[in-house]
Structure 1
């Protein structure tokens, strides 16, 4: 999950419905979290990230401090990740030497759940507002130094671009601003309803979809010349709701807090 990137595909979809039905899992399901019940996330599947300063603003000069309390199963079948203004005087060290002004949540499935080939999809409803940066993404397992293990951003959304979804690859020599990215413009504001975001991953091919329609595809041949394809390995999952950073910018007075990213489910199919 990185800031503004090189665009290689831009698609405008004009016929997508505003809502995708939350159907039961189909054939080939190998793992899912439907986020039923209430309380903390299932620690058999998820790790909860905390902090900011010790992770250098999570690599993007982000303004939120991740806390366990910002993540909860809401009792209505959702994971709720809430970004809020921090309590005045709270000790929340930020990368910039100040206390973070916001709190939010981030979870990963590292060492617990991963996928090498198959389909991963998530149904979620994103919050709108300048400075908000919700994302669902994947990192290559077993490689410590980013981006050598690869990063697949299934969906990113900046809260002041209400109709645009981004999908991105990061790898050695094509990361940060040089990441390879596609985007799709939807006919309606994404924050108005739930949508399904997915990646279909097969040997030497990755496809991005929104509500069942492909908007971006990458193969080794489409990488910048001389760059290495590093995506033939297991990838684990990440959800987060970031605040601030160079790409979405800082929140403005009109940005509403608290605000919540709702995740209905995440599923992996073979």
Structure 2
């Protein structure tokens, strides 16, 4: 046998099983259903996608990129090695062979635990999450005429009066436990631009003044418009003995309850029920019709920013001459997450809406909480955004439409 034939026979020993050896030297591509147990990858540039169900993973070092159109580009920063049989080409420059112990699909870190109330000694972290797709508070710009500065390092007292004390002799009118302070431990701005009102419960503290401390803030400015909309994005603490509130009163001095009270967001004892309220009378049988409310169940109000709006349209309703009292007839509307939940007419004899202020506070215990005391811990009311605008979102046309589809407040 010639030396040439010896070399030829030796080479044929390496050809795949079942291949027509006599044609191997032609350079033709292997059949699409590439057979045989001793799998070899076809030459570069000649790879073809096998029919469904016949794919085999090539040995290390023999991998070739599939033809265009056979894979989808993942979003930047979101690529992870897929399960076996579902390979996708990673973005250019980002492929690395993972070690064997990491060949299972990687997942992003789990979200932080749900935020609410933390009955323990350590102060809780300030929540930063928001509902997916929710517009950031700062994006609502058209017509906004006031948005307080929540920058860290600025004293809270520049934008708000920080009420102090127990509200003696009746615990702020409801036998409440808390001692309001102006301390940074009870109200402060965060580095990412949020306002936090922190109620701290330490029932065993030797100093009675330090057992229950909290914050009560009153805006230094008034609504200052006969028509407008007040909006806040709040994460509310929900726990037994805790009563956070976002509400309004006439500018001091005022006569309660005749000049009115508006409650936009308040909940107590951890029931996750928001109460939209209007008050302008005493809690007596004859004044019962002067206390109106609608409840809205918000099960996740302690875990995300909830949007609360209060819109008023009182222009041209008039003021009683000589005593600065509203002649009534203006229209008020309460919203939760953009949905109208209650409407009412501005009661006659109340203070004109332009002269009202904004309040934020976290109360503890007392009559409203049915005498229940909060467990030891810190409880945060987080204000993600706060603003006054000349009209509600969607304009006054939307307000008129909502007015005809909203319910009146119900007598408490």
The TM-score with structure 2 as length reference comes to 0.53
Conservation of the 8 A alpha-carbon contact between 2:281 and 2:291: no
Partner of residue 105 from structure 1, selected from 212, 215, 222: 215
**Counterpart residue number, 1:52:** 166
Give the SS at the match of 1:72.
strand
Computed over aligned residues only, the root mean square deviation of the Cα atoms, in angstroms, reads: 2.6
Residue 264 (structure 1) shift: 1.1
Q: 1:155 to 1:229 in 2, by over 3 A?
A: farther
Q: 1:189 to 1:256 in 2, by over 3 A?
A: farther
Higher relative contact order (CA 8 A, sep 6+): 1
**Counterpart residue number, 2:207:** 90
Residue 179 (structure 1) shift: 1.8
Correspondence 1:169 to 2:278: yes
Higher alpha-carbon Rg: 2
Conservation of the 8 A alpha-carbon contact between 2:222 and 2:251: no
Give the SS at the match of 2:147.
strand
| Unaligned residue ranges in structure 1 (runs of 5+) | 1-16, 93-99
Give the SS at the match of 2:254.
coil
| Unaligned residue ranges in structure 2 (runs of 5+) | 1-129, 315-329, 391-412
Residue 154 (structure 1) shift: 1.1
- Deviation per CA, 1:102-145: give whole Å up to 9, x if none: 111111025x3334431001111011211111001111235522
Paired with 2:157 and 2:211, the residues of 1 have a C-alpha distance of 28
Give the SS at the match of 2:302.
helix
Partner of residue 268 from structure 1, selected from 384, 388, 409: 388
Q: How many residues align?
A: 236
* 1:119-268 correspondence runs (5 A): 119-141=229-251, 143-162=253-272, 164-172=273-281, 179-186=291-298, 188-203=299-314, 204-219=330-345, 228=348, 230=350, 232-233=352-353, 234-251=355-372, 255=375, 257-268=377-388
Paired with 2:148 and 2:131, the residues of 1 have a C-alpha distance of 23
Give the SS at the match of 1:60.
helix
Residue 247 (structure 1) shift: 1.8
- Deviation per CA, 1:31-58: give whole Å up to 9, x if none: 0125122453151x21001100536211
Q: 1:32 to 1:42 in 2, by over 3 A?
A: farther
Paired with 2:169 and 2:152, the residues of 1 have a C-alpha distance of 31
Q: 1:250 to 1:101 in 2, by over 3 A?
A: farther
Correspondence 1:28 to 2:154: no
Paired with 2:157 and 2:240, the residues of 1 have a C-alpha distance of 31
Q: Indicate the structure with greater strand content.
A: 1
